[in-house]
Amino acid sequence: MENYEILVIGGGPAAITIAKILGKKKMVGVIRPEDHSMIYCAMPYAIEGIVGMEKTLKSDSLVTDAGAKLIRDKVSSVDFEKKTVLTEGGKAIGYEKLVIATGSDPFLPPIEGNDYKGVHVFKSEHDLKQMNEAVKGKKLEKAVVVGAGAIGVELALALQQCGLETHIVDMADSVLPNLLDPDMAGPAEEQLAKAGLTLHLGQKTEKIIGDGKAEKVALDNGEVIDLTGENSSYGIVAFSVGMRAGVEIFRETKLEIGRTGIVIDNKMRTNIPDVYAMGDCAQFVSGITGEISEGKLATNAVPMARMFAKNILGAGREYKGFFNGAATRVGDVFVGGTGLSEQAARGKYNVVTGVAELTTTFPIMPEAKPVKMKMVADADTMRVLGAQVVSGSPVADKIDTITLAIQNELTVNDLTEFSYSAQPYQSFFPANNLIVACAEEILSKTGE
């Protein structure tokens, strides 16, 4: 029987990170079933044709050149007593330490018609190929994307760009509800309308109507979206309504599983000795509230895996939790959010917000574009809880700066003393800075 010091179930960012750090230092095995690991973030752009389909596929050499053994198989069960995994291919593989990095699967709501032709989810290489074939080959004319989160919005824009009349449906009253408060979502919604998309916000998808294929989508307000066209008898319904931890093979075992995934401590240890979990399959808390939090992002999976691997090599690092900084692009507008939105913070904190609007460069420069930031803080402690940015230029640097402030429990007062740089092409005049301006507005509201 093959035996590994570290055996990883998974092939996503968490597994690859472990292979890269430990592959040459330990006997590492990585088991995953699919032909290719994916650059998921680029999938909508492959549909749109901005990057080739092949560019979304990661090379196996990321794992094998790092010195780890890649085992192309699917784990069917784990015997935690005998420290052995069994695979669908009939193998038994032993481990000293097991890492569960089985990721997550897209949630398909249990509604009528969810198995009809034309209904898709969007995560795997298979999903991408199916969607691409439907868009490019079948001459479908209309699409509904259910879910106005970042993936849903990116996919909807891609479908519209491919010539399909595209609708977005979401129960929330504004788009990108996990990133932006409603008062910050306007520019993104305007961009979607400008691109020709139709928004159905504050509405739930009730069922898909058709004779085995997606002909219509019925919403709970009685509205029916017709997906048939002049030359097509059905259309696309793409669900992008969240991910569920990939934990099915562990349901009947002693492994503790919570509401959002496998329960772990701050060193990624599960309740079973020598068994660790990380990434999308794991449940952890917000680094701000300490409450169980959604955090199914590659930017959470990678740090968890890096921390685990460094600890195996002797470090004593502890994971603090999810802060969930994330960003996307909607047409000409770049948006991002980190920490808690005002909506998420209300009810938990004595919330105070500050808003600032400047330009991305010196306003006299020809490239100057508007940029707006909203900061969320706790008026009792003045701790920074979150921020959102909407801009004509990329926002990830601003989001990451605020994430760092939140991670280090900085206060609004600290941010008024933020020492920034300024240059005509890259920032507003030295006279002002977005972060400082938000912080000052909060202080003026709280009378400090």
Is the dihedral angle over the CA atoms 118, 122, 125, 131 positive or is it negative? positive
The contact mask relative to ligand FAD for 145-174 (x = CB under 6 A, - = no) is: ------x-----------------------
The residue from 6, 21, 43, 162 that contacts ligand FAD (CB under 6 A) is 43
Binding mask 233-272 for ligand FAD (x = CB under 6 A): -------------x--x-----------------------
Of 49 and 424, the one with the shorter C-beta distance to ligand FAD is: 49
Minimum CB separation of residue 196 from ligand FAD in Å reads 22
Among 6, 21, 101, 268, binds ligand FAD (CB under 6 A): 101
Residue among 400, 395, 394 at smallest CA distance from 299: 400
Residue 101 vs 143, nearer CB to ligand FAD: 101
Q: Which of 12, 118, 210, 339 binds ligand FAD (CB under 6 A)?
A: 12
User: What whole-number distance in Å separates Cα of residue 48 and Cα of residue 156?
Assistant: 10
CB 272 within 8 A of CB 255: yes
Window of 97-105, 201-209, 265-273, 349-357 that interacts with ligand FAD by CB under 6 A: 97-105
Residue 125 sits in the site that holds ligand FAD (CB under 6 A): no
Question: In this structure, which long-range contacts are made by residues 355-361, counting pairs with CB atoms below 8 Å and at least 24 apart in sequence?
Answer: 355/438, 355/441, 356/432, 356/434, 356/437, 356/438, 356/441, 358/428, 358/432, 358/433, 358/434, 358/437, 359/428, 360/391, 360/392, 360/393, 360/427, 360/428, 361/424, 361/425, 361/426, 361/427, 361/428
Give the nearer residue to ligand FAD in terms of CB position, either 320 or 348. 320
For residue 274, the minimal CB distance to ligand FAD (Å) is: 18
Q: Are 246 and 123 in contact (CB under 8 A)?
A: no
Residue-wise DSSP of 99-152: EE---EEE-----TTTTSBTEE---SHHHHHHHHHHHHTS---EEEEE--SHHH
Judged by CB under 6 A, the residue of 118, 279, 287, 386 near ligand FAD is 279
Nearest-approach distance from CB 221 to ligand FAD, in angstroms: 28
Chain residues binding ligand FAD by CB under 6 A are 9-15, 31-34, 37, 40-41, 43, 74-75, 101-104, 122-123, 151, 246, 249, 279-280, 296-299, 301
